[in-house]
Amino acid sequence: VYLNITNISQDYVNVSRLYNVSNVSGDYYNVTIYTDNYTDGTWVIQVYANDSDGNANNTQNITVRFDQTIPNEVNITSSHVTRGNYSGTQTFNFSILDVTAGGGSLWINISNSTTVEVVRSTINASNPSSIYWNVSVDTSDFVDGLYNVSVTANDSAGNTNTTLVILQDIRIDNTNPTGTVSCSPSTVTAGGGVTCTCSPSDGGSGINTSATINPATSTSNTGTFTQTCTFKDLAGNTGTASSSYTVELSGGSGGGGGGGGSSSSSFSYRKTIPVIADDLKNLGTLTQPVGEKERVKVKIASAKVGEDEVHYIGVRKLTLTSAVVEIASDPVRIELDIGEDAKVDVNDDGFYDVYVKLESITNGKADLLIRYLNEEIPEEKEEESVDTTGEIVPEEVEEESSLMWLWVLIVVIVVIVIGWVVAKKGKR
């Protein structure tokens, strides 16, 4: 028995060699072929056999592939990169390039990049199609830290390619980041400004600053509000932190009027809005947001031709639903609920001069509609200076003034008594 071997992948180049064939038993023979004597490729082995009479049979052909080359390229095709940060279950994708046999198997080794200790030596990959392989790794099986990933690939001929390291110093991080939120100021007046700042931290992969969301704040309503900040580290772990701030209406109610009339010294306006570019008559209607302890300065035509009087429309006290509005120079205070209005004669000429309406209260400010009037006061209301659906708040009377009149009265009585006694003695 002898063999004729033909390379069919190289234009049928014939290589004939004679091999010693051993008769194992009966009609069974075997022969050993050293494939490293042949180039990689597909070969046809023709078997020739003679019997003892010299009759030959060469009808048996065997097609085989000789492959002495390891898989020449192992690539990672997923998005994983050296020194990347990862958490949860990660699926690594690879491709194997082999010029001859193809197929085979693939597995990965994961080792601690600091101690070079192999933490998990073999994780087998699956072969979904062609040259592509994938393997899923649950990173929670590992302690947070730095790791190297190496790949071993076999082709179907048994040749092995062991890469040294395909991914180096990847960080496994399954710990959520922590953080704090601080709101400044912690107590703010309605309509004021407050800022809540998020400060996250992470001892592993680090904070992904672009994924940190600072809470939006609002002071349009009163109460205590909790703000929550969300953040994420570079491995995709998330965390939250919260803090609170309080919105209050500003305190302060006064004993006297503002803007020119007599008033208690304990009250003063903190802001005057000078709307004095023109006479209110020419301006017509004015819409102005006015905060607590703020006032609007306006000009109203005087009874004297060519002269204008300066008056003030201020908010002495503000709640969520009402405002105490003061109209001065001769102060008149009116408590208006939202939607209520008032008319005032500011110069005692028998005509209403100013109309004020509380339209709404927004962001801690009273939205006042102010309009010029020239409306005669009806006879039956001659004694009244204000026509309003709101409540007129009386001017506070200072206690010192009442006591002064009492002392004057006592002095007068004493003088009269002394005069009477002196007169009595003179007659004697």
Q: Using one digit for the tens of pLDDT, what is the confidence trace for 327-355?
A: 876 677 888 888 898 888 877 778 888 88
Asked whether 328 and 268 are in contact (CB, 8 A), the reply is no
Q: Could you count the other beta carbons within 10 Å of the beta carbon of residue 259?
A: 20
Q: Residues 374, 292: one domain?
A: yes
Place of tokens 């400060």: 199
Q: Count the domains in the chain.
A: 4
Instruction: Calculate the CA dihedral of residues 38, 39, 43, 46 and round it to 10 degrees.
Output: -20
Q: Residues 81, 148: one domain?
A: yes
E strand or H helix at 95, and its extent?
strand 89-97
Q: Residues 89, 52: one domain?
A: no
Interatomic CA distance for residues 82 and 406, integer angstroms:
95
Q: Which stretch of 7-11, 71-75, 178-182, 206-210 has the lowest confidence by average pLDDT?
A: 7-11
Q: Residues 226, 284: one domain?
A: no
- Which of 172, 195, 218 terminates a domain? The answer is 172
400 has a pLDDT exceeding 60: no
287 has a pLDDT exceeding 60: yes
Asked whether 386 and 353 are in contact (CB, 8 A), the reply is no
pLDDT at position 137 is 92
**Is 154 a member of any domain?**
yes
**Is 82 a member of any domain?**
yes
**Is 375 a member of any domain?**
yes
**Is 151 a member of any domain?**
yes
Q: Residues 217, 316: one domain?
A: no
Its domain, for residue 49, covers 2-66
**Is 144 a member of any domain?**
yes
Instruction: Calculate the CA dihedral of residues 122, 128, 133, 138 and round it to 10 degrees.
Output: -50
- Which of 108, 141, 172 terminates a domain? The answer is 172
Global confidence as pTM: 0.52
Greater model confidence, 155 or 264: 155
Q: Residues 111, 24: one domain?
A: no
Q: Residues 101, 8: one domain?
A: no
Q: Residues 324, 347: one domain?
A: yes
pLDDT at position 224 is 87
Q: Residues 129, 218: one domain?
A: no
Asked whether 211 and 240 are in contact (CB, 8 A), the reply is no
CA-wise closest residue to 252 among 238, 273, 270, 276: 270
pLDDT at position 385 is 46
